[in-house]
Each structure stands twice: as structure tokens, then as C-alpha cells.
Amino acid sequence: MRPDDICPRLDTVPPQPTQPLVPPIYPAVVYRCADPQQASTLLAGDEDGYVYSRDGQPNADLLSAKCRELHGADRAMICGSGMAALSAALLATLQAGDHVVVSDKLYGRSGSLFTSEAARLRIDSTVVDVCDLAAVRAAMTAKTRLLVAESISNPLLRVCDVAALAEICHRHKALLLVDNTFASPIVCRPLELGADLVMESLTKIVNGHSDVLLGLLCGREAHWQRVPHVVTTWGLSASPFDCWLAARGLATLALRAARAGDNARLVADKLAADRRVARVIFPGLADHPDHELAKRQFAAQYGAMITLILPGGTAAAARFISHAKRIPFAPSLGDLATTLSHPESTSHRGLSDQERTALGIDGGMLRLSVGVESPETILDALEEGLSAG
């Protein structure tokens, strides 16, 4: 055999008497077709099967099938990031001349996607407080095709009434798209409450290990028509290795969410009783503005995000961060371990002081993403930060 002719490819894997316990990773970009007839029917979508991985690959399908079941969706698609999934939703449901109603509490990039980026496509938008149903009704027009809201918002952890928003949308022949990233399907399943499309950044709680960037879009068959075409044509697809890792993360989602949710509940109660903390925001606390709604709408847990406000503003937050050495200041969420973020300097740094004040964001505000450590370890680590104040 000439060295130049060594090729790692086999025509087929030799038949095996046993099956691997874990799914393989399929990095192949392209699949061999038997003949032109098969290539043509596969590419036309008249027959199920893989040809080119931007159009579909086994690792994305394995992951999307599980996400589809968790959400009770008819269809699901994995995209290269949460933002890719939101872009797919925008491009599949809206066109020039349409109008979209956008929550005023969206993740920053999502807000710009559905307002300034949408405007470049001649899609008009109105930004409203989705917790004010009268304001939502007033924002709907004859051209409104979509409403975008988050089931739990950042950093005030406001909960939107999915069933009520869905009813308003459907009366106006518009669709409701819910970003369920902060809740995860363990806490909330918006399709069961009437939403038409659900998006999640799998990067966060679902993968849970801060080592994958991926997004999910899922929904009802009736609204799915354009989604696969948009994902492949705008190039929003995911990589096989990322999907494989996220499927591994997903396997422990229920365990992690239960543990982190129990920890969050305990930490929220402790912080609420601590005089060094000005305010604790957690949907599971009775003084949260959406507590009753959360109790009704969520399955058992209230999520693992807690926002606290220290009385001393930005300087107090900085002192806390520098002393709470065992809690990484990492502006994301959903990791195995407890992390914290400072909205004023990260997620909401693009806003003016006035805009931040209007949203209720204070320099002393910290957002905890509670992890799965022992509760004692989390409380000790928080104490190191609090005693610095």
C-alpha cells in the first residue's frame, strides 16, 4: 500500500454483535448516496435521511428528539446558539411589513434582534411591559404576527403569564414565542400553557457545564413550515460534537435542576432574613410580585436564579465580588457550580443610568446562579462576600 493512499474511511462499519452503550459522534459533513435518484429524493425531503450536515445530522436529531419530548412539542430543531434559534424564529415567522411586540425585559441581544435588526428587514416593533396585560393588548395591531417574552426575565426574575399572553396573541392571529432559558423545561413548559414557539439557550441550564454554545427552537407543527428551510439557508445549524455534549448534559438536567432549585430556595430564605442584604428577589418568595403566578404556572420549582441588592451600590457589589472568592464572577448562568453576575457592568451595561433605574437595576445588584454544591458550601461562600460589606 502506498502511504499516499492510506485513507481512514471504511465503506461501512463492519457488522457488530453488540451496540455501543453511548451514541457515537457523527462528524461527517456529507453522506454517500446510492444513486442520483436517492440523492434527489433525500435532498428534496421526500425521504428521511442525511446528505449534508447543515441540513441535518444524527447528533442534532438525537438531542432535538429529547428536547421535543420534554417540551411536549411536535417539532424541534437545534441551532448553533440561543441567538441562532431566536434568529430562526424571527426569520421563519416575520417578513417586511409585519409588526412584532417585544418584552421590555428581554436578554439584551434578543431585544436588539427583535427591534433594531428587525427594523433593517422593515419589521416594525413595539416594546412593552409584558407583565402589564393591558399594555400588551394596546400594543397589538392588525399587522402584529409575533409576541416575544421570557418566562423568567433577567435580572428582576419577573414571570410572564404565558396563558394570558397566548390568548391575547391568538385573538390577534399572532404567535407567542417564549424564551424559556431561565426556567428550563423542568420548571416551565410554555407550549403546554398555550405558547406557539419556545426557544432556549441550551448553553445555560440544559447543557449545564459551560462548555457548549447551542440553542433550541421547538413548537407546533402548524407553525413549523419555514423553520428547517430558514435554519439551513441562513446557516444556523449546530455542530455534532456540541450536540453530543449537550445530550450528555441533558441526561442529568432533572437531577441538577432539582438540587439547584432546592439550594436556591434555601439560599433565598437565608438571604431574605439577612440584614446586610437590602432586597432578595426570588419567584419562590411570597413578596415577589409574581409569586402567585409562578406557583400556578411552574412545576414544583421556582428555578435556581436569585437576585440580591446590597445597600452600598456599585462599590458594595465590587467588595462582595472580590471577597466571595469561591463564587466565580462569570456573566452567564446555569453552570454546575454557583456563579454570580453583576447586571450593571455586564448584561445591562449598554443602558443609560436612567434606563437602568427605570428597569429597577441598581449598582448593588448581584444575580446568583445557584449550583448543585452542598448548601453549606454555598452559604459559607456567600458569607465571605457579605462579611466584606
Query: Would you say the C-alpha torsion 276, 281, 284, 290 has a positive or negative sign?
Result: positive
Name the CA radius of gyration of the chain, rounded. 23
In the complex, which residue's CB is closest to ligand PLP? 82
Contacts of 79 by beta carbon, 8 Å cutoff, 6+ apart: 85, 87, 88, 214, 215, 216, 217, 231, 236, 237, 238
Task: Output the smallest distance, CB 39 to ligand PLP, in A.
Answer: 33
Site for ligand PLP contains 110 (CB under 6 A): yes
How far is it, in rounded angstroms, from Cα 151 to Cα 68?
A: 18
Of the candidate spans 177-185, 228-236, 365-373, 381-389, the one that interacts with ligand PLP by CB under 6 A turns out to be 177-185
Q: How many residues bind ligand PLP (CB under 6 A)?
A: 14
Sheet containing 339-341: order of strands: 279-281, 305-309, 365-369, 339-341
- Among 98, 161, 179, 335, the active-site one is 179
Residue of 53, 57, 59, 81 that binds ligand PLP (CB under 6 A):
81
Return phi, psi of residue 164, to 5°. Answer: -70, -40
Helix, strand, coil shares of the chain, percent, nearest 5, are: 40, 15, 45
Nearer to ligand PLP, 43 or 359 (CB): 359
Nearer to ligand PLP, 70 or 236 (CB): 236
Residue of 103, 181, 263, 338 that binds ligand PLP (CB under 6 A):
181
Contact 180, 153 (CB under 8 A): no
Known catalytic residue: 287? no
Site for ligand PLP contains 208 (CB under 6 A): no
Query: Would you say the C-alpha torsion 385, 365, 287, 291 has a positive or negative sign?
Result: negative
Contact 235, 269 (CB under 8 A): no
Residue of 66, 68, 77, 82 that binds ligand PLP (CB under 6 A):
82
Of the candidate spans 40-48, 133-141, 199-207, 252-260, the one that interacts with ligand PLP by CB under 6 A turns out to be 199-207
Known catalytic residue: 262? no
Encoded one letter per residue, x for contact with ligand PLP by CB under 6 A and - for no contact, window 124-163 reads --------------------------x-------------
Distances (CA, A) of 42 to 38, 153, 215, 317: 6, 41, 25, 56
Site for ligand PLP contains 343 (CB under 6 A): no
Q: Exposed, middle or buried: residue 331 (CB in 10 Å: 0-12, 13-18, 19+)?
A: middle
Site for ligand PLP contains 190 (CB under 6 A): no
Known catalytic residue: 211? no
Site for ligand PLP contains 335 (CB under 6 A): no
Task: Output the smallest distance, CB 42 to ligand PLP, in A.
Answer: 30
Known catalytic residue: 270? no
How far is it, in rounded angstroms, from Cα 46 to Cα 48?
A: 7
Give me the active site residues, please: 54, 107, 179, 204
Binding residues (CB under 6 A) for ligand PLP: these are: 81-83, 107, 110, 150, 179, 181-182, 201, 203-204, 213, 215
